[in-house]
Amino acid sequence: MSEAKKTIFSGVQPSGKLTLGNYLGAIRNFPILQEEYNCIYCVVDMHAITVRQDPAMLRKQTLEVLAQYIACGLDPEKSTLFIQSHVPAHAELAWVLNCYTMFGEASRMTQFKDKSSKHADNVNVGLFDYPVLMAADILLYQTDMVPVGVDQLQHIELARNIAQRFNGVYSDTFVMPEPYIPKAGAKIMSLADPTRKMSKSDENQNSFVLLMDKPEDIMRKFKRAVTDSDSRIIMSDEKPGVSNLITIYSLATGKSVDEVEKEFAGKGYGEFKPAVGEAVVELLRPIREKTEDLLRNKDYLESVYREGAGKAAYAARKTLDKVYRKVGFVKR
């Protein structure tokens, strides 16, 4: 008998436009996994409201992320694609898991600390509880692997701790999820300050590249990218800006880091930076064009997210029923 397929779950927030970091760190790997695994990918709109969103923009961006999933190679026939708020089991399990998460461990989440200093006027309970909702997302589907960038590692560790605690009290209930972090691209850095992560919430528009950026904007951002005064094009801890550009170029072209260093040996940034820009333009062009096409076909997108929510809700209900029974709720 063949072994049951392993389950993959991941999510992306529609809290802004997707960046090259989101793509290289996470979404790029989603379609690769769908050939072999049972893949479930979610647009996590409930996470997005932990910081203030404009309602019309949130609706638009939610559909845009779904369109980008498909444009990046996800096939709704192979992967389950859905919108988090369409499957109420996420919120329901998050409540139960809240009661198995310690205040102290949630307080240690570095993303909460970062975000609460960035949004000091709106340090709401949802922002604090965000990692528990994320644990619910993952544990609901009995997920084996979670493809993410390195910034989400701490949240996955928390999900594992919660699962272990619950399993310890009530016997095996949840599969222990493992992070799936790519060797290259797990942390794409800002083009303006290569000691910081590339982030869609950065105030400096030149610090990130968006999947929907026009070619001329991509070229401008790479030409301006911060490097250093030593002009060698090599991978080195002392050269975070150049190393980041080498990583991006290598992932965009499929060339190894060695090949990239050889290609640009003896050449300067004047040649290197536009080459990275052009490689990224070509990488993103088909994604942008396909996304624009899909966004013109709202009926199709609706059929995808409806069907996805149906499949996801069925799987989620099975776990939630088990959890409710174990904690002692009366069967409905």
Residue numbers annotated as active site: 115, 197, 200
| Residue 146 binds to ligand TYM (criterion: CB under 6 A) | yes
With binding defined as CB under 6 A, does residue 50 bind ligand TYM?
no
User: How many residues of this chain bind ligand TYM (CB under 6 A)?
Assistant: 26
Residue identified by tokens 């040996």 is 265
How far is it, in rounded angstroms, from Cα 258 to Cα 111? 34
The distance of closest approach from Cβ of residue 228 to ligand TYM in the complex, given in angstroms and rounded to an integer, is 20
Sheet order of strands, 145-147 included:
80-83, 38-43, 7-12, 145-147, 178-180
Torsion angle of alpha carbons 143, 148, 153, 155, nearest 10°? -60
**Range in contact with ligand TYM (rule: CB under 6 A) among 120-128, 151-159, 220-228, 271-279:** 151-159
Question: Of 299, 310, 314, 313, nearest to 63 (Cα)?
Answer: 299
- Rank residues 140 and 219 by Cβ distance to ligand TYM and give the closer one: 140
**Contact residue for ligand TYM among 28, 47, 221, 273 (CB under 6 A):** 47
Q: Does residue 179 bind ligand TYM (CB under 6 A)? A: no
CA of residue 328 relative to chain centroid, distance? 35
Apex 91 CA angle, 85 and 95, nearest 5? 170
Is residue 198 within the footprint of ligand TYM (CB under 6 A)? yes
Selection from 134, 140, 95, 145 nearest residue 112 by Cα: 134
Closest separation in Å from C-beta 44 to ligand TYM: 4
User: Does residue number 207 form part of the binding site for ligand TYM (CB under 6 A)?
Assistant: no
Nearest residue (CB) to ligand TYM, 128 versus 232: 128
- How far CA 56 is from CA of 43, 63, 210, in Å, comes to 16, 11, 20
**Interaction mask 5-24, ligand TYM, x per CB under 6 A:** ----xxxxx-------xx-x
Considering only residues 45, 137, 202, 213, which one is a binding residue for ligand TYM as defined by CB under 6 A? 137
Binding positions for ligand TYM, rule: CB under 6 A = 9-13, 21-22, 24-26, 44, 47, 134, 137-138, 146, 148-149, 151-152, 155, 186-188, 197-198
